[in-house]
Structure 1
Amino acid sequence: MSLIPSIRLLDGTNIPWLGWGNGTGVTSSSNAVECGRLALESGVLHIDTAQNYKNEKETGEAIKTSSVSREDVYVTSKRSRAPIPFDEVLNLIQESLDKIGFVPNLFLIHSPFVAEGGDLKALWKIFEDLKDQGRLRSIGVSNFRPQDLEAILDGAKYKPVVNQIEYHPYVLAHSHYA
């Protein structure tokens, strides 16, 4: 059991407010597994990974090799720059799910800066459709500015449950998100 409090999201699910990021400080595959396992066994029951980090498989392995049951772990993953057409986005999301080995609790658009010719609104619609199909659970965004949120909210079926903003000792200033 974790002593870290949770926050209730818009869709009624709860997310631990502190998590282990399997990104910046992770230097190798074995390091990703070991650090993730140690975080879980220390009571940090939220692991954050992403396609960009190239360690989604290791995140799944960290959970499997830890003494913590999968049901007690909250996992966030993120889809990187979005290629359009639709089928490519679906394939890349499915690739993430296959690497992790399960559907994460939360899946995010990693950045509002989609691939050239991409459309944030179209990408958000894909996330909504996958949520409706049960292929994604909670859906949200990461590092979105107000104008990026406005772009997807107009006509959206679901609001993002979070806007995860990068914040750590290497990145502290965020006036452009206000």
Structure 2
Amino acid sequence: MSSKVPPIILNNGVEMPQLGFGVWQVPDDEAQRAVATALESGYRSIDTAAVYGNEEGTGRAVAASGVPREDIFVTTKLWNSGHGYDKALRAFDASLAKLGLDYVDLYLIHWPTPARDLYVDTYKALEKLYADGRVRAIGVSNFETEHLRRLIDETPVVPAVDQIELHPHLQQHAAREYHAEHGIATEAWSPLGSGKGLLEVPAIVAIAQKHGRSPAQIVLRWHLQLGNVVIPKSVTPSRIKENIEVFDFTLDIEDLAAISALNEDRRTGPDPATFNAG
């Protein structure tokens, strides 16, 4: 099945699908089936990470899909224990071997872990991988403005992507503005919030009824219209298919305003300023 997902153009000219498939918390033995379903449903971007423990299953699904490798955008991430120049290079080799791929489309530092104070050296290792053609783009995840500013000041390659927690209860206005100013794509993890709470908010439910869509489709459409890259995760085939059916309707100004009013600056995940685990 061909993809209906439009691309965004990263700051180095590489095209990345605006909607992809995330495999956080998906066990390795389930990842192959879930990714296969996603690829069959038209997804062409798959987001995994070393710490997820499912790079092998993800890679098997990519290999078995019948979709040409160049048509699939694969992201993986360096875990916190791999910070430091040499350790980062070794961690990338391990991820690439588990994925069974010759290259990765996007490689991200998963967290800045500021207490280690190694993210600049770590990023320089990613620049080396990029220069060597082993990754098509490099970026970061969970980096705050202060972390990004330091990278931009001390290294030559501006991150292509910053993947951050972002949903209607945590809209990240300042981060998105900084990203836009510096040509960094904003990618939303946990785009539907955590649990069912967000999808039961009356304003979201009312907009869903108005458009004849599910609440999840409304939130994903909101992300897309903001310009975010988004990676919803599911292991349920019907939801995997539903989450990509968001390109044939548009939210109007009133819808967008109602969702904008839901911001509470409320995280469901760790605070990047203090998270140093691993």
Matched, 1:113 2:113: yes
The change in CA–CA distance for 1:11 and 1:174 in structure 2 (over 3 A counts) is farther
**Counterpart among 186, 190, 210 of residue 167 in structure 1:** 190
The change in CA–CA distance for 1:83 and 1:41 in structure 2 (over 3 A counts) is closer
The equivalent of 2:90 in structure 1 is: 91
The equivalent of 2:72 in structure 1 is: 73
The 2-side partners of 1:12 and 1:122 are apart by 25
The 1-side partners of 2:63 and 2:82 are apart by 31
* Aligned partner letter, 1:63: V
User: Gapped runs of 5+ residues in structure 2?
Assistant: 165-188, 199-262, 266-270, 273-278
The equivalent of 1:139 in structure 2 is: 138
The change in CA–CA distance for 1:55 and 1:157 in structure 2 (over 3 A counts) is same
Q: Is the 8 A contact 1:84 1:118 kept in 2?
A: no
Greater shift, 77-86 or 158-167, is seen at: 77-86
- Secondary structure (helix, strand or coil) at the match of 1:32 reads helix
User: Gapped runs of 5+ residues in structure 1?
Assistant: none
Matched, 1:123 2:146: no
Q: In the TM superposition, what is the alpha-carbon distance from 1:33 to its structure 2 partner?
A: 0.1
Percent identity between the two aligned chains: 37
Q: In the TM superposition, what is the alpha-carbon distance from 1:85 to its structure 2 partner?
A: 4.8
Q: CA deviation digits over 1:116-140, x for unaligned, max 9? A: 5341111111111221122222001
* Aligned partner letter, 2:32: V
Q: CA deviation digits over 1:55-94, x for unaligned, max 9? A: 1111110111223222211111111114455332211110
Question: What TM-score comes out, normalization by structure 1 length?
Answer: 0.88
Q: Is the 8 A contact 1:41 1:67 kept in 2?
A: no
Q: Is the 8 A contact 1:86 1:126 kept in 2?
A: yes
The equivalent of 1:8 in structure 2 is: 9
In our comparison, the structure showing a higher alpha carbon Rg is: 2
Question: What TM-score comes out, normalization by structure 2 length?
Answer: 0.58
What is the number of residues matched between the two proteins? Answer: 174
- Secondary structure (helix, strand or coil) at the match of 1:154 reads helix
Q: Is the 8 A contact 2:84 2:122 kept in 1?
A: no
- The structure that is helix-richer by fraction is 2
- The CA RMSD measured in Å over matched residues stands at 2.1
Q: Is the 8 A contact 1:47 1:73 kept in 2?
A: yes
